[in-house]
Amino acid sequence: MPLQVEERRDVIGADGRLVEELVVNVGPSHPSTHGVGRVIVHLDGEVVTKVEPVIGYLHRGIEKMAENRTYLQVVPLTDRLDYVGSMYANWAYCRTLERLADIAVPERAEYIRVIVCELQRIASHMMGLGASAADTGAFTMFVYCFDLRERIIEFFETLCGSRLTYNYVRPGGVSFDLPEGWLEDVSAFLETVDAKLVEMDQLFFGNVIARGRMKGIGVLSAEDAVAWGITGPSARASGVNWDLRKHDPYSVYPLFDFDVVVGDNGDSYDRGRTKIFECHESAKIIRQAIAKIPGGKFKTPLPRLIAPPAGDAYDHIESARGTLGVYLVSDGSVRPYRMHVRSPAFCNLAILPRLVPGHTLSDLIVVLGSLDPVFGEVDR
Amino acid sequence: MSSVAPFGWGMVAGLGAGLIIALAALIGVWWERKVSARVQLRLGPQQAGPYGLLQTLADTLKLVLKEDITPARADRRMFRMAPFLAFVPVATSMIVLPVVKGWAPLQIASGALFFLAVPGIAAAGILLAGWSSRNTYATIGGIRGAAQMVSYELPRTLSVLALCILGGTLNVVTLQESWRWWWVLATALGFLVYFIASIAELNRGPFDLPEAESELVAGFFADYSGIRWAVFMMVEYGGMVAASAFAAIAFFGGGFGIPGVAGTFLLIVITCVLATVMIWAKWTFPRMRPDQLMSFAWKVLTPMALVQLAIVGVIAAWL
């Protein structure tokens, strides 16, 4: 795709009249493309007639790089996939490797993984919500979201010394045990989180302008969601009851009591609001996990070089954006023969050209924000 | 006090208005940053000078020294002229405002009309800035700006017309002199319409569609830098002060009809309060969509202004 686009040309519109089409190049450097997304938008006045997403601006070849590294060295690479939810990519990769090399994981490690990943879900949803609120001009909501996210990031910093790329979930467990008093701090934080989420819900989703901006915009039907492989909150907002934590249970999730949040309308408003409700459910899971967490080892001792038997394995988890799967092929050596990531952000973004036409340019930003793409994961 | 000001006097008054706008922008930007910080659990500027008061001065210095870029594709002459075409009408409109009871720099019989009509020329400046940039974002922003300013002109003018019926004059000075306290109650609806329409006229949030940072990057002034960019900021803050001051004068009788220095002081206080409410609204509400903005002007504000006119008409007939 060329960097320069032809800006004006005459085309025959849908109703047969001649329109002077304006072609707007949104991104890759633009405030509302959530990183380096690029969308070429064809406009008839303010109404969008055609949308062409252009991806690849953040392609780093992570899957190829993995082939030249040992299995343990790949974990930091997975951090760079979904950089607002690094724990998920760590975990998805480790689960696949554990399946491939038949590595046992201590129960305490599974609990720790659930706790950090549910905290990560809240942090990631806060990023998504805040960014899509800022897209509609509600910058105050953005700051409120980041306030909540910041607390969680601080917990992660205490846990592993890193704020964004954690490299925390490792094959056979996690890299460090929980620091002293960490669980108590998290419990204290969870006391406040529900009230804050309700406040945000009222501040933004209760606002009459925000409702007008998001309701009925970018409606995704349940059939389309299934047909296009949309997963995560974007699919659940359309009424698709699909959550891997419930429907393909992994780790210790079957031990916890929580609900899958399902919306009705599948519009941008529901996609946003589903995230708020999911954060409540995540808090519920963490509370139960903290109450039940057993003692014991946090990691299975492993040799530095893991050489799984030849073969392949796939495993997936429910990330904040949907089904995050990792496929690994081993040829019996200490390096993966092939790694592939099934990234939810990529699959969810694919529906954009179908949702936007007929809406205005302003709505494009809202729909893009509600799909919550992270381009580290889209481009890989 | 002459009814027709000589040319020289007009120049002095205009220059004074320009200085007030510069000052308003200087303090306004600082105040906006402080207020928005409080809204958003932050502190705002606090390093440069006491309470960060010198922050805007530092920013202004940076803007003045910055390279004034004209894009290669832009229509050079129009591009360079546009900020001033937006600035001059706003500064000019201020000279009919009676800053002391009974005295305005320029006292003309149709002062209210002058105040409402002249800033309308700024729409041309915005349209020109957007168009001459030859940039898709700026073009959309400029056209949005022009459409919005034309639409909101109507409810704004109608709401002020209600006052003119009560006062029986278009002259701002005599309007202020004939102000009675019960006008506040009688024109409450009109004040609401005026205030909302003014925010839209100034292209401020939640009606900041022409610049719509998250969609159009910066809209009509996306390609501006340095001093010309600063002039657009001054238009915004100067407009804020002018609109608030006019509301204080027309709807609240200046300082509630009090003459002299005390009245002027009250006038400044009311102006600041109204400007603060504008800032508060911007940082609370999300941005509207262009079509919602238009239907809000025509289907909500204009009928409200007409109802206000009817109310005032009944009162005037009864008086």
Mean pLDDT of A116-138: 90
**Chain B CB contacts of A25 below 8 Å:** 136
* Structure-token pair, residue B235: 């238009």
Q: How far apart are CA B216 and CA A360, in angstroms?
A: 13
Tell me, what DSSP letter sits at residue A179?
A: P
Q: Judge whether A296 is closer than 8 Å to chain B, CB to CB.
A: no
List of chain B residues whose C-beta atoms are within 8 Å of the C-beta of residue A43: 140
Q: Residue B1 pLDDT more than 50?
A: no
On average, the pLDDT of chain B sits at 84
Cβ pair A180, A158 in contact under 8 A: no
Provide the ipTM: 0.80
Q: B42 contacts in A (CB within 8 Å)? A: 143
A365: chain B residues, CB-CB within 8 Å: 214-215
Report the alpha-carbon distance of residue A330 to residue A337 in Å, rounded: 5
Look at A80-84, A122-126, A210-214, B254-258 and tell me which has the smallest mean pLDDT. Answer: B254-258
pLDDT tens, residue by residue, A4-42: 556 666 776 666 777 777 888 887 888 777 778 888 888
Indicate if the pLDDT at residue B257 is higher than 70. no
- Given a cut of 90, is residue A376 above it in pLDDT? no
Please enumerate in sequence order all residues whose Cβ is within 8 A of that of B231, keeping only pairs 6 or more positions apart, or say none. Answer: B83, B84, B86, B87
Cis peptide before A373 (omega within 30 of 0): no
pLDDT at residue A374 greater than cutoff 80: yes
d(CA B26, CA B19): 11
B42, B290, B292: residue with CB nearest A212: B292
Confidence of residue A362 (pLDDT cuts 50, 70, 90): confident
B190 φ, ψ (degrees, to nearest 5): -65, -40
- Of all residues in chain A, the percent with pLDDT exceeding 90 is 28
3-state class (DSSP) for residue B41? coil
Q: How confident is the model at residue A126 (pLDDT cuts 50, 70, 90)?
A: very high
| Residue A215 in contact with partner chain B when CB distance is under 8 A | no
Rounded Cα distance between A217 and A360, Å, is 10
Instruction: Give the model's pLDDT for residue A116.
Output: 92
Interatomic CA distance for residues A124 and A131, integer angstroms? 11
Which positions in chain B have a beta carbon within 8 angstroms of at least one beta carbon in chain A? 36, 39-42, 136-137, 139-140, 205-206, 208-209, 212-215, 217, 283-292
Q: Which residues of A182-193 are buried (b: 16+ CB within 10 A; e: fewer)?
A: bbeebeebbeeb
| C-alpha A2: how far from chain center | 29
B102: left (phi over 0), alpha (psi -120 to 50) or beta: left
Q: What is the pLDDT of residues A221-272, one digit of tens each?
A: 889 899 998 998 999 999 898 888 888 888 889 888 888 988 888 888 999 9
Q: Give pLDDT, residue B259.
A: 72
Can you give the pLDDT at residue A121?
A: 92
Rama region for A325: left / alpha / beta (φ>0; ψ in -120 to 50; rest): beta
pTM score: 0.84
Containing H/E element for A19? strand A18-26
Q: Given pLDDT bands bounded at 50, 70 and 90, which one contains residue B226?
A: confident
Contact A373, A37 (CB under 8 A): yes
pLDDT digits (tens, 9 = 90+) for B261-310: 777 888 888 888 998 999 898 888 888 888 888 888 889 999 999 998 89
pLDDT digits (tens, 9 = 90+) for A92-105: 999 999 989 888 89
Q: pLDDT averaged over chain A?
A: 87
Which residue in A7, A134, A140 is closest to B214 by CB distance? A134
Q: Does A250 touch chain B (CB under 8 A)?
A: no
